[in-house]
Structure 1
Amino acid sequence: MGSAAGIIGFLTNNVITFVFVLSLLVFVHEMGHYLVGRWSGIRIMAFSLGFGPEIAGFTDRHGTRWKLSIIPLGGYVRFFGDEDASSKTDVDQLAAMTEEDRARSFAGAKLWKRAATVAAGPIANFILAIAIFAVLFSVYGRTVADPVVAMVTRDGAAADAGIEPGDRLVAIDGTKVSTFDEVQRYVGLRPGRNIVLTVERDGQKRDFGIVPKLVEDTDQFGNKMEMGRIGIALVDPLVTAVAPGGPAAQAGVKSGDRLIAIDGNNVATYYDIARYVADRPGKSLVLTVERNGQTRDLSMVPETLSATDASGNKKDVGSIGISPVDPLVASIAPGSPAEAAGIMIGDRVLSVDGRRIEAIGEVQRYVASRPGKTVTLSVERDGKTLDVQVVPRKAEEPDAFGNPMEIGSIGITDGQKPIKLRYETYGPLQALSEGVKQTGSIVSGTFEYLGNVIGGYMKADQLGGPIRVAQLSGQMATLGFSAVLQFAAILSVSIGLLNLMPVPVLDGGHLMFYAIEAVRGKPLGARAQDIAFRIGFAMVLSLMVFATWNDISSRIG
C-alpha cells in the first residue's frame, strides 16, 4: 500500500504539474515558429502539442491541422514541404511543386524568412520567461536582505581573507551588489576562481581577494547541488529552542549556543545542521558549539522521525531536537502596533492571517509588505490560543544605497541579531526591466555552469532530464502557483538555450545550416544534411540518456 500511495503521490504532485508546465512552454515555443512562419507567407500543415497518434484536433480555414497528440513530451510545427516533424525537407515533393507552391513551402522560402521562422521559437521562450518574471515582480514584489555579513564561518574562505561580521558587501569583481542573494548567486557559480569582494567597514571601502570553495548543498526538498561558498551568512546559527529530553538536550546543548561544526564540517547556517542530521537517523555524530567564548564537542545520536516528501513518499529522517528560532516574542518596541494590540513578551506566534509560521522573522517578512493593512496573529499564551489583530505601521528603512523606503512593521523581534530586510514593489516598466535582468541572469548562469563543467570546477551531474524536471515541478507545486510559474520561466529559458545549440535537428542546427548557405550562396547537399541530421539526433539522444541517468542516479544514490 505504501508504494502504491507513493506512486499516486508522484503522479499527482509531479507528473501532472510537469505536463502542465511543459505543455505551456512547448505551446509558446511552437507558436513562435507558427506566427513568424505565417507572417512570412509559409504554409503550415500541422501544429501539434505532443508527439505520436492524435488524440483530438481540428483543421482551420488555412488548412492547418491543430492537434493534441498522445505523448506530452514536446510538440512541433510541420511546414509545407517538410518530410517530418523535424523540418527535414521532402526533396521529391519539393521537386514536383509548381513555382507558386514552392514559394509557399518552407524550403522554397527566402533564407531570411526561414532563419526568422526558426529563431522565433527560442525567442518566444525568452519572451515568455521575461513576461512571467515581470508579472511576478509586479504582483508579488519581493522581500530582500541587505548584503550585510552577520556571521563568518571559521576557517572559511571569507575568514581566511579577513572578512568580518558587520561588513557590508558593496561589489564583487567591480560590479555593485544590493542584496545578499546577488552575492550568493555570483559566488555559487565561481568555485575555485579568484574573485574580489569589496566591503564597506567603518566608512571605508576595502578589497579582499577570495577563492570560493566547492561544496555540496541540499535544498529544502533534499535535492543535492554543487556550488561555491565563501563562508558568510545573514545570521548567526544560534540555538534558541532545545526540546526537553531530546538528543541535543541529553548531550548538553543549551539555548544560546552558537553552532560551529558538525562532524568536523564547518557550519554556515543552522540549516546546514538540519540537513546533515536529517540524513543520519540513528547514527552517532559530534556537534561543535561555542558557549561563553569556549568551544565544546558534544556527541549525540539523532532520533528517527517519519517525514513525507513532495512526492508523497515516506522516509526516515534524523532529528536532535534543536531550533535556531522559537517563534517567541522576545522584545516589543514601546508605542509599537504590537504593544497597542496587546501582544506580550513571551507570546508564541502560531500563525499570521492563517499561515502557520515557525519564526518571528516570517512574521516580519509578511508584515513588511502590508503597511496599513490589518493582519491577524494567532498567539499562544498560558496554554491558550488568542487571535490578535494588528495594523503594521509604515516605517522607513534605508536600502543598500541609503535611499529611504517604506515597509510595514509591528515592532516585535525574537531577540536574535536583526536582519535588514526590505520589501520592494515594482511598477509595470520596472517589473519588465527586472524580468529582463532575471532572464539574462539565468542565461549567464547557464553559461557559467557549462564553463565550470568544461573547466573541471564542477561535475556534470547537475544536468537533469525529464525525471528531474517532473520531480522539481511537483516540488514547486507544493509551494504554490507562483512558484510553479517561476519554475516555468526558468525552464523556458533553458529550453530556449537548448534549442539554440548548433546541433542538427535543433533550431540552432538549422540556423547553422542557413549561415553556411549564406556564405556558400547555396544550401548544403541533401546527402550532407542527412548525415548531419543523423549525427545531431545521436548527440541529442546521448544527452537525453546522460541526463536521465543523472536523474536515476540521484534518486537511487
Structure 2
Amino acid sequence: MNTLLAFIAIFSVLVFVHEWGHLYFAKRAGILCYEFAIGMGPKLFAFERNDTIYTVRLLPIGGYVRMAGEEPEQTTIRPGYEIGLVFDNQQKVTEIIINNKSKHPEAHVVQVEKIDLIHELFIETIDDETGETVRYEVHEKAMLVQDEVAQINAPWHRQFGSKSLPKRAMAIFAGPLMNFILAFIILIGLFWGFGYNTNQISPVEGSVAAESGLMEGDTIVAVNGEQADEWQHLVNLISERPNEEITVTYERDGEQQSVTMTTDTDYVEEIDTERGVIGIAPMRANDFLGAVSNAGSEFVMMATSIFDTLALIFTGEFSLDYISGPVGIYNFTDAAVAAGLYNVLWFAALLSVNLGVINLFPIPALDGGRLMFLGYEAIRGKPVSPEKEGAIQFVGFALVMLLMIIVTWNDISKLFS
C-alpha cells in the first residue's frame, strides 16, 4: 500500500507541476484554457474557476491543459441553424443553445443568417414579421450549450494562434521547465537536509591512500592535475584509472601538497568492469551553497544520462530493458520506498528530470514536437496548416502509445521471467 500511495503521489505531483507550467504561462499570455486535467479517463472530481475547469481523472498516468485554438472546435454553427439565445441586461448574448432548445424556455429561438463568434462576435437573423435583419452582439464570454454541456466561447484574441511566437513557445516549454525546477528544488532539499559527500576525506586503515600519507580531514582538489570539484567527480577520476600511478593534489591546513600513488583494482560484477580505488571515504557537509552546487551537478548527470542510454541505439547495444513504463516505474518506486525517504525523493527528482527531457524530444504529440512546429513557423514565416499538423500529431500520438504498450508489456514479462 505504501508503494501504491508513493507511486500515485509522485506521478500526481510531477504531472501537476508540468501541466501547471503550461497553464500558468498560457493564462499569462491571455490564452483561454478550457480544462486543466490531472490523470486520464473518467472524471472523479471537477470544479470551475476563472473560465477553466479543473479535473481529477481516474487513471494517474498523465494530464493535459486544453487550450483554445490548439485543435479544431467541436461546435460549429452555420447559417440556417436554429439556435436559442439568452441575453444579459445589456441585450448581449450570454448563452447560445445549440440543441435541446425545448429544455430552455427562457431562450429566444432564431434562425442564423450570419454569425461570427471569433472576430466580430455577432449573430444576424431575419425578423419573421418585418423581414429586416436583426443583429445581436455576443458577449466575449458567452457560453455554447450543446447536449446540456456548456463551454465558453473562445474569441480570436483568447486563442493560442493569436499570440506571438515567443508567448506560444513559452506556454509549451513551461511544462518541461517546471519539471526541471521541481527536480532541482528536490535535490537542493536532499543535499541540504540529508547532507552530501565532500572531497574532505577519511582514509581507510591500510589502504593505498593511508600508506601514501593522506590523513583524515585532507581535502583532495585534483587528480593528475585535473580539478576534482565534488566527490562524484573525484570518484570518477580515480575509478577510470585502475592499477595506474596517479598524482593526488590535496589541501591540508590551508596548504596544497601532492603525492604519487598506484591505485588498487576493484572488480564491479554488475557492470563487468574494473575500477581504480585508493581507499578513501568522504566526510559529509550540509551547507546551503554546497547543496546548491551538488544539486546542480546531480541534475546535469540525471539530464544527460538518458542520452547515454539512447546512444546505445547507434552501437547496437540498446535494449528495451533500459527503459520502463508505468509497471517498471512502479517496481522502482517499490525499491525506493523500501530504501527510505531519501531514495523516494531522489527517485522523484530523477523522474521529474526524465519527464522534462523526454517531453522536449522533437516527436509529434510531445511538447518538443509542438515546439518543432513553432520553429518551422519561425523559419517559414507562416504556420503549418491545422489539418497537416493535426494529422502529424495524431500519428505521433499513436506511435507514442504503441511504444508505451510495448514497454509496458516488456515490464510485465520481466515480472514473470
TM norm. shorter chain > 0.5: yes
TM-score range (shorter-chain normalised) is 0.5 to 0.7
Whole-angstrom distance in 2 between the partners of 1:30 and 1:18: 18
Whole-angstrom distance in 2 between the partners of 1:462 and 1:184: 24
Bigger shift: 63-72 or 443-452? 443-452
What residue in structure 2 maps to residue 415 of structure 1?
A: none
Whole-angstrom distance in 2 between the partners of 1:176 and 1:453: 32
What residue in structure 2 maps to residue 448 of structure 1?
A: 308
Q: TM-score, normalised by structure 2?
A: 0.68
Task: Read off the aligned partner of 1:40 and give its amino acid letter.
Answer: A
Percent identity over paired residues? 30
Whole-angstrom distance in 2 between the partners of 1:172 and 1:461: 35
What residue in structure 1 maps to residue 273 of structure 2?
A: 229
Whole-angstrom distance in 1 between the partners of 2:407 and 2:198: 34
Whole-angstrom distance in 2 between the partners of 1:187 and 1:66: 52
Alignment pair present for 1:430 and 2:295: no
Q: TM-score, normalised by structure 1?
A: 0.52
How much has 1:493 moved relative to structure 2?
A: 0.1
Alignment pair present for 1:498 and 2:358: yes
Listed as ranges, the gaps of 5+ residues in structure 1 are 1-11, 83-87, 152-162, 218-226, 236-418
How has the CA–CA distance of structure 1 residues 166 and 91 changed in structure 2, closer, same or farther, with 3 Å as cutoff? farther
How has the CA–CA distance of structure 1 residues 472 and 174 changed in structure 2, closer, same or farther, with 3 Å as cutoff? farther
Whole-angstrom distance in 1 between the partners of 2:200 and 2:274: 17
Alignment pair present for 1:200 and 2:200: no
Whole-angstrom distance in 2 between the partners of 1:527 and 1:196: 62
Task: Read off the aligned partner of 1:425 and give its amino acid letter.
Answer: N
Whole-angstrom distance in 1 between the partners of 2:383 and 2:54: 31
How much has 1:540 moved relative to structure 2?
A: 1.1
Aligned counterpart for 2:407 among listed residues 536, 547, 550: 547
Task: Read off the aligned partner of 1:420 and give its amino acid letter.
Answer: A
- For residues 162-311 of structure 1, the aligned pairs below 5 Å read 176-177=227-228, 181-182=232-233, 199-200=246-247, 203-204=258-259, 217=270, 227=271, 229-232=273-276
What residue in structure 2 maps to residue 109 of structure 1?
A: 163
Whole-angstrom distance in 1 between the partners of 2:12 and 2:375: 31
How much has 1:480 moved relative to structure 2?
A: 2.5
Query: Residue by residue, what CA displacement relative to the aligned partner does 1:489-528 show, whole Å, maximum 9, x if unpaired?
Result: 1100000001000001100000000000111111112332
Whole-angstrom distance in 1 between the partners of 2:226 and 2:414: 35
Bigger relative contact order (CA 8 A; separation at least 6)? 1
Number of residues of Structure 1 aligned to a counterpart in Structure 2: 329
Whole-angstrom distance in 1 between the partners of 2:390 and 2:242: 46
What residue in structure 1 maps to residue 187 of structure 2?
A: 133
What residue in structure 2 maps to residue 67 of structure 1?
A: 55
Aligned counterpart for 2:24 among listed residues 35, 41, 46: 35
How much has 1:484 moved relative to structure 2?
A: 1.4
What residue in structure 2 maps to residue 16 of structure 1?
A: 5
Aligned counterpart for 2:379 among listed residues 515, 519, 534: 519
How has the CA–CA distance of structure 1 residues 481 and 502 changed in structure 2, closer, same or farther, with 3 Å as cutoff? same
Which protein is richer in helix relative to its size?
A: 2
Bigger shift: 127-136 or 468-477? 468-477
Listed as ranges, the gaps of 5+ residues in structure 2 are 78-115, 121-139, 141-154, 215-219, 250-257
How much has 1:19 moved relative to structure 2?
A: 0.8
Whole-angstrom distance in 2 between the partners of 1:30 and 1:52: 16
Alignment pair present for 1:475 and 2:335: yes
Query: Residue by residue, what CA displacement relative to the aligned partner does 1:406-456 show, whole Å, maximum 9, x if unpaired?
Result: xxxxxxxxxxxxx533012222x4323322221111112222222234323
What residue in structure 2 maps to residue 97 of structure 1?
A: 118
What residue in structure 2 maps to residue 44 of structure 1?
A: 33
How much has 1:531 moved relative to structure 2?
A: 2.9
How has the CA–CA distance of structure 1 residues 216 and 206 changed in structure 2, closer, same or farther, with 3 Å as cutoff? closer
Aligned counterpart for 2:398 among listed residues 515, 527, 538: 538
Does the 8 Å CA contact 2:201/2:283 hold for their aligned counterparts? no
Task: Read off the aligned partner of 2:287 and give its amino acid letter.
Answer: Y
Whole-angstrom distance in 1 between the partners of 2:200 and 2:383: 55
Does the 8 Å CA contact 1:147/1:179 hold for their aligned counterparts? no
Q: Report the secondary structure of 1:478's partner residue.
A: helix
Does the 8 Å CA contact 2:172/2:367 hold for their aligned counterparts? yes
Task: Read off the aligned partner of 1:21 and give its amino acid letter.
Answer: I
Does the 8 Å CA contact 2:224/2:246 hold for their aligned counterparts? no
How has the CA–CA distance of structure 1 residues 52 and 137 changed in structure 2, closer, same or farther, with 3 Å as cutoff? same
What residue in structure 2 maps to residue 411 of structure 1?
A: none
Does the 8 Å CA contact 2:31/2:68 hold for their aligned counterparts? yes
Task: Read off the aligned partner of 1:50 and give its amino acid letter.
Answer: G
Whole-angstrom distance in 2 between the partners of 1:452 and 1:185: 21
Whole-angstrom distance in 2 between the partners of 1:41 and 1:137: 39
How much has 1:181 moved relative to structure 2?
A: 4.0
How much has 1:179 moved relative to structure 2?
A: 6.0
Does the 8 Å CA contact 1:173/1:195 hold for their aligned counterparts? no
Whole-angstrom distance in 2 between the partners of 1:119 and 1:198: 48
Q: Report the secondary structure of 2:45's partner residue.
A: strand
Structure 1 or 2, whichever has the larger Rg, is: 2
